[in-house]
Amino acid sequence: MHSTFEAICNRNTQTNIHEDAQEGGDNQDQCAICLDLIINQAVIVPCQHSEYCFRCMRIWTTTSNRCPICVQPIDHLVHRIDPRTKDFQIFHPLPIMPNLNNGDDNNRQSQAASPTLPAAQHPPNSESGPSSSQSDHFIGLDRRQFIYRHSLYAKHIPSNRYTQFYPVSSKHFLKDRSKNPSEPTRRDCPSAKLIARTIRFLQRELRAIQPEVLAHPIEHSIRVIIIILHRADSNSSEAVHLFSQLIRDPQLAQHFSHELTCFLRSPYDDLLQWDQVLQYPTAPNVY
């Protein structure tokens, strides 16, 4: 650890000298995740990649334990680095959330070979409650593909105590997080639960969009979308613009934003229950 930190401090000192020499220039480092100027630079140990804001990497580690650049395992993050005093803080991520990486590569291959999972193999069972099987997340995938193919927008459901729908903003993704940035977020806090249900939605929703318009693998896109939702409301122009960098079709990105917002506003964790509540206009010229 000592040698690693010495290398980090030396590199940061050289960076500071370089920035001082180019004062007034535009060569400021950008975060490789949010693409904004780096705030509170985070260094991944052991690979030492450092092109990130600490906040972005903290969110990233909720869904992946590997570096976004070299895909090496992340042991911990070093941040709040002061090369002059050699002060720093260490952040140890919690184990990643389930059902994101587990079998994802196999599922991606199977989805490529067979874009839909036959509903007959996984019939909904209202008596058994929400299913924990990852394959159940993809029931209704063919319907979602149909919705995007024909540009059908989910009808609005009002927010009230009867529907239990309510507006969701970026602040909800930060709710009840620790005030200490080095302390991991508890898995049972509201923001962690919201992230978990959002991931379940995204795992299916992104597979409903034509693969050729997706700029990145689904697993990577999910992590970036979660980061976007921490900084912008899902239906805001900023979010739609950022979504369009992942979904390279402006109309599809707008449509995706609408469907995501509808789901986030809902009280449902189970996608099967969500599918039963959704209402859509009739698709024109289908037959």
**pLDDT tens digits, the chain, 287 residues: what are they?**
455 555 565 555 444 434 443 444 444 688 888 878 899 999 999 999 999 999 888 888 877 888 888 888 899 999 998 888 888 999 888 766 444 344 444 444 334 333 333 333 333 333 334 444 445 556 789 899 999 999 999 999 999 999 999 999 988 887 655 444 444 444 445 678 898 899 999 999 999 999 999 999 999 999 999 999 988 999 999 999 999 999 999 999 999 999 999 999 999 998 988 998 889 988 666 54
204 found inside a domain? yes
pTM above 0.75, yes or no: no
29 found inside a domain? yes
Last residue of a domain, one of 91, 113, 135: 91
- Indicate the length of the chain as a whole number: 287
Beta bridge partners of 43: 78
98 found inside a domain? no
Last residue of a domain, one of 65, 91, 117: 91
Q: How far apart are CA 227 and CA 202, in angstroms?
A: 13
96 found inside a domain? no
Regarding whether 146 and 16 lie in a shared domain, the answer is no
Q: How far apart are CA 66 and CA 72, in angstroms?
A: 5
Show the DSSP H helices in the chain as ranges. 2-21, 54-60, 104-113, 141-149, 190-205, 218-231, 237-246, 250-265, 271-277
Regarding whether 123 and 256 lie in a shared domain, the answer is yes
Of 244, 147, 156, nearest in space to 205 by CA: 147
Q: What is the residue range of 41's domain?
A: 2-91
Regarding whether 154 and 30 lie in a shared domain, the answer is no
